[in-house]
């Protein structure tokens, strides 16, 4: 039975509500999923409840965006305590940063002649107010600024890291993201290492406390998958995987469950979370 440990809901930039995502996963007969929304845990309670009702395992998760030099490191966290005050304080700051950043990207688009309505942009946002590049891009599509054949080209022109309207995330270092996950009793995992495509940077993150690598990912070539699997084995990291399903169509093309890690990942993550919690209880908190 397939497992998907990387899926988004409309608590961040996915199309479906957490309950709909879990329902779709159950309908596909998946064994377990994790909703790993960007920078928020607002969808977790609903997802867990839906999982219990529908008889599918739901692992609490998050994906935190951190900026490293000219790339981004996305830190996944599994088995996090999503009621943790510290984690909620952090996610609140991240969302506030995202709203300010969204507004700045909106203003930059305006400078380049792309006149959107802020009300339209935020209409697609969650009650918490999560704004990402996807929200702005979908507003551009709705306003007729994106010829269908040029979807990717237009996205990259404005929203790639060196794009015209791109604004950096609120600054959180990968180290802070890793610690935040561990503080919340979760297992930090580096998302889509192939998108980073920089072994030096990955070794640094391993040194900073990453416990897993997302080996199975739709955009990874067979060579990359083998490379990261070997790296995970060499460093004793958990090899996780998922589709990064957003439900908007297009995405990365993989249907939920289409990039499944082996089943033993579930026990490995559970044991790693127990280890994180044991250590946390032994060490006096630094804060
Ligand atoms: P952000 O979290 O605001 O930095 O935006 C990153 C998000 O933009 C990714 O998680 C995707 O959901 C979305 N994204 C990335 N590339 C594309 C693309 N080519 N077309 C549409 N959305 C994209
Ligand atoms: Mn996204
Ligand atoms: Mn990501
Ligand atoms: Mn993702």
Is the distance from CB of 125 to CB of 132 less than 8 angstroms? no
CB of 246 closer than 6 angstroms to any ligand 1 atom: yes
Task: Render pLDDT for 38-87 as a digit per residue (tens, 0 to 9).
Answer: 999 999 999 999 999 999 999 999 999 998 777 889 999 999 999 999 99
> Band of the pLDDT at 207, cuts 50, 70, 90?
very high
> Band of the pLDDT at 286, cuts 50, 70, 90?
low
Mean of the pLDDT values across residues 119-141? 94
Nearest atom in ligand 1 to the alpha carbon of residue 98 is: 3
pLDDT surpasses 70 at 132: yes
Domain ranges of the chain: 3-91+171-282, 98-159
CB of 137 closer than 6 angstroms to any ligand 1 atom: yes
CB of 13 closer than 6 angstroms to any ligand 1 atom: yes
> Band of the pLDDT at 250, cuts 50, 70, 90?
low
CB of 133 closer than 6 angstroms to any ligand 1 atom: yes
* pLDDT, mean over the chain: 95
Q: What pLDDT shows up at residue 93?
A: 96
Q: What pLDDT shows up at residue 281?
A: 87
What is the 251 CA–ligand 1 centroid distance (Å)?
Answer: 9
pLDDT surpasses 80 at 4: yes
What is the 243 CA–ligand 1 centroid distance (Å)?
Answer: 14
CB of 192 closer than 6 angstroms to any ligand 1 atom: no
Q: In a mutational test of the pocket of ligand 1, which residue from 132, 250, 253 has the highest number of ligand atoms less than 8 Å from its CB?
A: 132
Mean of the pLDDT values across residues 119-148? 95
Nearest to 197 by CA among 217, 179, 177, 212: 217
Distances (CA, A) of 159 to 35, 106, 132, 155, 162: 24, 11, 10, 5, 7
CB of 134 closer than 6 angstroms to any ligand 1 atom: yes
The CATH homologous superfamily of the domain defined by 3-91+171-282: Metal-dependent hydrolases (3.20.20.140)
Name the closest-CA residue to atom 14, ligand 1.
134
């Amino acid at each position: 039975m397939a497992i998907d440990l990387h899926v988004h809901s409309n608590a961040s930039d996915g199309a479906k509500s957490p309950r709909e995502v879990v329902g779709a996963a159950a309908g596909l007969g998946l064994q377990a999923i994790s909703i790993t929304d960007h920078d928020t845990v607002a969808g977790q309670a609903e997802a867990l409840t839906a999982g219990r009702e529908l008889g599918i395992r739901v692992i609490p998760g998050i994906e935190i965006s951190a900026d490293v030099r000219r790339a981004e490191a996305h830190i996944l966290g599994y088995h996090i305590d999503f009621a943790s005050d510290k984690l909620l304080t952090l996610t609140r700051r991240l969302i506030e940063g995202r709203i300010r950043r969204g507004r700045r990207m909106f203003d930059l688009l305006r400078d380049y002649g792309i006149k959107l309505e802020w009300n339209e942009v935020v209409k697609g946002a969650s009650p918490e107010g999560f704004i990402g590049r996807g929200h702005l891009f979908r507003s551009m599509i709705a306003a007729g600024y994106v010829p269908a054949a040029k979807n990717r080209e237009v996205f990259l022109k404005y929203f790639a890291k060196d794009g015209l309207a791109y604004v950096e995330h609120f600054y959180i270092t990968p180290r802070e993201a890793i610690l935040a996950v561990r503080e919340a009793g979760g297992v930090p995992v580096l998302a889509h290492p192939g998108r980073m495509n920089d072994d030096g940077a990955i070794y640094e993150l391993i040194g900073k406390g990453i416990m897993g690598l997302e080996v199975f990912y739709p955009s990874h070539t067979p060579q990359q998958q083998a490379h990261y699997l070997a790296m995970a084995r060499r460093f004793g990291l958990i090899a996780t995987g998922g589709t990064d399903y957003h439900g908007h169509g297009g995405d990365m093309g993989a249907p939920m469950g289409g990039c499944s890690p082996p089943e033993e990942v579930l026990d490995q993550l559970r044991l790693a979370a127990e280890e994180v919690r044991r250590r946390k209880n032994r060490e006096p908190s630094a804060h």
